[in-house]
Structure 1
Amino acid sequence: MYGRVKQTLASELQGLDSRICFTSDLWTSNQNLGYICLTAHYVDANFALHKKIISFKALKYPHSGLAIEEAITRCMTEYGIKEKMFTITLDNASNNNTACDLLQESAKSDLLFGGQHLRVRCCAHILNLLVQYGMTIADATLEMIRDLIRHINFSPRRIQSFNEIAERESFSKGWFGS
């Protein structure tokens, strides 16, 4: 059944008048096994957008740029669609930079604009990195606030003093969660 479905999908992809955009990601399972997934994104003759996982395979260590490029190229070759590649979206890991450089070099004659626009950086990964960085800045501030609250809540006398100051400065009691 798998072989039949794969052949049907390969025929569909090969018959497209348009190019195919790809996304790929790597991750390590909780058993420390590496995997790579390759997804094809395309628009058919009826202008319907499709997203199909065309490869989900184990990837042996090391997850070098060469290993990634070989896995992607092997999959595209199996499906007979390497010349239909338009873009590939990957996260910002350095091994993905190398993989894209190798893909661009090996398929340069088949790529639009010589592959200058092959690599699309994953916006979700960039946003995640920005949020993580912002959280490191916020973490220090939040930790100081937590320390202050712990200090105030250490004794009834400190709580009372704090509440008197808060009342004098027109803050409502318990505004900080105590």
Structure 2
Amino acid sequence: MRDIGQLILQTNYESSISMTDSKFDQSEFHDMFIACIIMHDLSFQCVEWVEVRALLTYLRRDLQLFSRNTARSDCMKLFIKEKSNIRSQLANLTSRVCLTSDLWTSINTDDFICLTMHFIDKDWHLQKKIISFYLMPPPHDSISLFEKLQSFVMEWKIDTKFFSITLANVSANNTLIEFLRNHLCLRGALFCDGEFFHIRCTAHIVNLIVQDGLKEVNLSVIKIRESIKYVKDSQVRKQKFVDCIKQSCL
């Protein structure tokens, strides 16, 4: 990676030092900035922040800055490019893929469905790619989820490369799996007729176990929380609580 700067020090074989102009690529800087926005989930407006622009122009006076609209457009271009790369990779894939899907609710209560693909590439490296993330309005019944997942599978043309899918351990997903398994088995697309097709999410199962366990100690947990609230409501109570701790440690 090239450093963004105007001067670099170079030492020759005779240990003499000379200063030369570094090679700067405006296009590479542009791509790196776009990658930074995506990697760190920055606002498109960050390219127009006054202090950011002041810092960049200080590093290089002739730097060509761009607007938030250009940043948005370039992020979409990069998305399309990466999506095309994944399609090419899948087209040449000889192994099968495993999928993970779940529903997610945003802070403004909009529901989304996410589909993640896992596979081993030709160099035996495990790959994980989020291939679909779409708005999923109600209803969230088995038929609606089946139609959505089926459309994802057909869009990415992985129906003949399917091995398994991991879903949350809820009753609606049981019917969904039957619909999806039957649809794929009719096309002879599943390994061992789908015997290993459905995998229940271990994290969700553990969460359900913990929730049931917490119900058994729910009254004790409530008492502890209320005690903490009582102590934190007053600085005097906090000090008395600290004094009690010191006395109990003597």
**TM-score over 0.5 for the alignment?**
yes
- Structure 1 stretch displaced more, 134-143 or 112-121: 134-143
Query: Aligned residues, how many?
Result: 151
Aligned position for 1:102 = 179
Higher RCO (Cα < 8 Å, 6 or more apart): 1
Secondary structure of the equivalent of 1:9?
helix
Q: C-alpha separation between the residues in 1 aligned to 2:117 and 2:191?
A: 17
Q: Pick one of 37, 41, 48 that aligns with 2:114.
A: 37
The code of the aligned residue for 1:103 comes to L
Once the two structures are TM-superposed, the CA of residue 80 in structure 1 deviates from its matched residue by 1.1
TM-score (norm 1): 0.77
TM-score (norm 2): 0.56
Percent of aligned positions that are identical? 38
Aligned structure 1 segments of 4 or more residues deviating by more than 6 angstroms = 144-147
Q: Pick one of 76, 95, 111 that aligns with 2:190.
A: 111
- Is the radius of gyration larger for structure 1 or structure 2? 2
The code of the aligned residue for 1:106 comes to H
In 2 relative to 1, CA 49–174 (structure 1 residues): closer, same or farther, beyond 3 Å? Answer: same
Q: C-alpha separation between the residues in 1 aligned to 2:115 and 2:157?
A: 15
Q: C-alpha separation between the residues in 2 aligned to 1:39 and 1:118?
A: 15
Alpha-carbon contact 1:14-1:81 (below 8 Å) kept: no
The code of the aligned residue for 1:124 comes to A
Cα deviation digits, residues 9-52 of structure 1 (max 9, x gap): 11211321110000001022232211000000000011000000
The code of the aligned residue for 2:205 comes to I
Q: Note the aligned Cα RMSD (angstroms).
A: 2.1
Cα deviation digits, residues 106-153 of structure 1 (max 9, x gap): 101200111122110000000111111111112234557899xxxxxx
The code of the aligned residue for 1:135 comes to L
Aligned position for 1:67 = 144
Structure 1 regions of 5+ residues with no counterpart?
148-172
The code of the aligned residue for 1:110 comes to A
Structure 2 regions of 5+ residues with no counterpart?
1-76, 227-246
Secondary structure of the equivalent of 2:217?
helix
